[in-house]
Amino acid sequence: MDSVAHAAVISSSKLSYGGRVSFNKDKNPPLRSSVVSLRNWRGPSRNLGVLAAQIGNKEIDFSDPDWKTNYQRDFERRFNIPHITDIFPDADPIPSTFCLKMRTPIMEDFAGGYPSDEEWHGYINNNDRCFLRSHYSSPTSAGAECIDPNCTWVEQWVHRAGPREKIYFKPEEVKAAIVTCGGLCPGLNDVIRQIVITLEIYGVKKIVGIPFGYRGFSDEGLSEMPLSRKVVQNVHLSGGSLLGVSRGGPSVSDIVDSMEERGINMLFVLGGNGTHAGANAIHDECRRRRMRVAVVGVPKTIDNDILMMDKTFGFDTAVEEAQRAINSAYIEAHSAYHGIGIVKLMGRNSGFIAMHASLASGQIDICLIPEVPFHLHGPLGVLRHLKFLIETKGSAVLCVAEGAGQNFLGRTNATDASGNTVLGDFGVHIQQETKKYFKEIGIHADVKYIDPTYMIRACRANASDGILCTVLGQNAVHGAFAGYSGITVGICNTHYVYFPIPEVISYPRAVDPNSRMWHRCLTSTGQPDFV
Ligand SMILES: Nc1ncnc2c1ncn2[C@@H]1O[C@H](COP(=O)(O)OP(=O)(O)O)[C@@H](O)[C@H]1O
Ligand SMILES: O=P(O)(O)OC[C@H]1O[C@](O)(COP(=O)(O)O)[C@@H](O)[C@@H]1O
Ligand SMILES: [Mg+2]
């Protein structure tokens, strides 16, 4: 029997003490997890009742009558979003130059700001908040994320995104830059477009694109691209990034030097975990140098692996586009004698695309993701189940996430320019193992392998992602004008919100093997546990 594919994460999530309690199943918990997880648990024997819990580096003593107040205060502190007045307490705001009645940059009526005595203006109050989580009334409730053993209601909310009545930048003094980093993702152009359009509505005239990710700040021969509504008007009609993307690049200090030289005081950073780590470091460095700058992120990851977000842009498009590949694999498999179709989809650490695409298609018999361990060989292995499917159904279709089954492949320790581990190709491996297995057992099998990954990533955004990109792009600009920096925008619990960057990138979000969604996927595929 071969080794079991290691789950990249802890798969157990249930703690029993008195009643059965299901805790947060976020994996690889961060240092400052907001809910109790198994790994962070430092209470007494699980069956003796819980008196205290270790959450991150803080111990919560549930017998303290003030524990909840303290927790909520700490939560508020963590999710506070950095503001320009933190370092420039005397910074004076001006009335916003943006209002919902103003749709183009040149409305004479509102020159110098929207009149504040109007009854309706559509602004967000700085104290508006959105709840981060739903309330689970019982720890036994499916998916319950509890702080304490009784799963009592603990307020956890984040700042609402949107335009404010007062702004901290004069549009005529703004030089805004946009940079897109990491891999491609459907919707990048939609976000660029919306940022430019919204900046112009505020009255900004100096808008530039930094070419090819962070490299564009340093590489000779790469010059900034002037942007305007005219330039970006139709960019969303094609995939990719108008500005280009890259991995690796200059140091944070060099990037900030370059920003100073160019006079950039608003930076919009579109990228994933790595890009946001960079954006946060840029924000810190700007503060250290006492620069009056807003650095705002828009999370871009086709893998959907950013914490706390309902989803990230491009993910819906990826799932939709993956249907074509899955359907092709299905047709091939069903038209062949003993046909087996294998589709590999992206997902470095997280199997969201594979899970959602499998579920959406209803055509997948086996879905393999990095978060769920499996055997390939042996009585419980994937290959034995494939034999069963061929014998009973005559064909089979597999969907594998790129990060699945990495322990079956030789480790190279290679990393890309950004320091990400270069993965082995599990899709090719399982294709070869399948062919070999059926040859060995003397059963005919016609194996077809489809790797549509870059075709999916290079697509233009679908309608729903297009709308998501529009809202995120607008809110990024609103956040910058409101004087926030070191923040990122996201959709959370159906609301658009601002997060402090470190809270969403402390580790990649992963599929919860105990979630109802993974269970739904399993009921659709009908696959057994391969361990
Ligand atoms: N910890 C970090 N600090 C600063 N910059 C980083 C960090 N990690 C990655 N970057 C930079 O962010 C950019 C994108 O990172 P990458 O991991 O390739 O993509 P993604 O942002 O999609 O995760 C690269 O230019 C990389 O150099
Ligand atoms: O070939 P590349 O450009 O390194 O991209 C491959 C990676 O891009 C992704 O689609 C997304 O990665 P990023 O979020 O880092 O851009 C991963 O799933 C995949 O491993
Ligand atoms: Mg990344």
8 Å CB contact between 182 and 420: no
113's tokens: 């700001």
8 Å CB contact between 422 and 414: yes
Average pLDDT over residues 67-82: 93
User: Residue 517 gets which letter from DSSP?
Assistant: H
Residues 280 and 120: their CA atoms lie apart, in Å, by 35
- pLDDT-derived band at 43, boundaries 50, 70, 90: very low
- How would you write 467-482 as a 3-class SS string? HHHHHHHHHHHHHHHC
21 has a pLDDT exceeding 70: no
Average pLDDT over residues 86-98: 94
8 Å CB contact between 445 and 435: yes
106 has a pLDDT exceeding 90: no
Residues of the chain with pLDDT > 70, as a percent, come to 85
3 has a pLDDT exceeding 50: no
- How many contiguous H segments (helices) and E segments (strands) does the chain have? 13, 19
Backbone angles phi, psi at 384, to 5 degrees: -60, -40
- pLDDT-derived band at 9, boundaries 50, 70, 90: very low
Starting from the CA of residue 252, give the closest ligand.
Answer: 1
Ligand 2 atom 10, closest CA = 346
User: Is any atom of ligand 2 closer than 6 Å to the C-beta of 183?
Assistant: yes
Q: Where are the alpha helices (DSSP H) in 163-209?
A: 188-202
pLDDT at 117: 57
114 has a pLDDT exceeding 80: no
Distance of CA 161 to the CA centre of its chain: 17
User: Is any atom of ligand 1 closer than 6 Å to the C-beta of 33?
Assistant: no
Angle at 326 between CA 322 and CA 329, to 5 degrees: 145
Task: For residue 463, give every residue at least 6 positions away whose Cβ sits within 8 Å of its Cβ, in sequence order, or none.
Answer: none
Which of 311, 341, 313 shows the shortest CA–CA distance to 328? 341
Backbone angles phi, psi at 105, to 5 degrees: -70, -15
Which of 259, 269, 216 shows the shortest CA–CA distance to 472? 269
The neighbour count for residue 466, using CB atoms within 10 Å, is 21
Average pLDDT over residues 97-102: 76
The residue that leads in pLDDT, 102 or 454, is: 454
What residues form DSSP beta bridges with 270? Answer: 180, 298
Task: For residue 225, give every residue at least 6 positions away whose Cβ sits within 8 Å of its Cβ, in sequence order, or none.
Answer: 208, 209, 210, 211, 231, 242, 243
Using one digit for the tens of pLDDT, what is the confidence trace for 460-512? 999 999 999 999 999 999 999 999 999 999 999 999 999 999 999 999 999 99
What residues form DSSP beta bridges with 196? Answer: none
Q: Which region among 4-8, 72-76, 214-218, 330-334 has the lowest average model confidence (pLDDT)?
A: 4-8
Give ipTM to 2 decimals.
0.96
pTM of the model: 0.89
Out of 179, 180, 181, mutate this one to test ligand 1's pocket (max ligand atoms within 8 Å of CB): namely 181
Task: For residue 358, give every residue at least 6 positions away whose Cβ sits within 8 Å of its Cβ, in sequence order, or none.
Answer: 326, 364, 367, 399, 521, 524, 525
pLDDT at 108: 53
- Where b means 16+ CB within 10 Å and e means fewer, 97-113 reads bbbeebeebeeeebeeb
pLDDT at 30: 34
pLDDT at 116: 54
Helix axis angle for 188-202 and 463-481, nearest 10°, is 40
Mean pLDDT of the chain: 88
pLDDT at 217: 98
Helix axis angle for 252-262 and 273-288, nearest 10°, is 60
Ion ligand 3: residues, CB within 5 A, are 272-274
The catalytic residues are 303
Using one digit for the tens of pLDDT, what is the confidence trace for 407-433? 999 878 899 999 999 999 999 999 999
Ligand 2 atom having least distance to the Cα of 457 = 10
8 Å CB contact between 336 and 207: no
Q: Which region among 113-127, 193-207, 337-351 has the lowest average model confidence (pLDDT)?
A: 113-127
pLDDT at 39: 32
User: Is any atom of ligand 2 closer than 6 Å to the C-beta of 303?
Assistant: yes
Residues annotated as binding site for substrate?
301-303, 346-348, 402, 454-457
Ligand 1 atom 12, closest CA = 275
pLDDT at 413: 86
Helix axis angle for 315-335 and 352-361, nearest 10°, is 50
326 has a pLDDT exceeding 80: yes
The neighbour count for residue 294, using CB atoms within 10 Å, is 28
Residues 383 and 52: their CA atoms lie apart, in Å, by 46
pLDDT at 274: 96
Using one digit for the tens of pLDDT, what is the confidence trace for 172-220? 999 999 999 999 999 999 999 999 999 999 999 999 999 999 999 999 9
8 Å CB contact between 181 and 214: yes
8 Å CB contact between 474 and 192: no
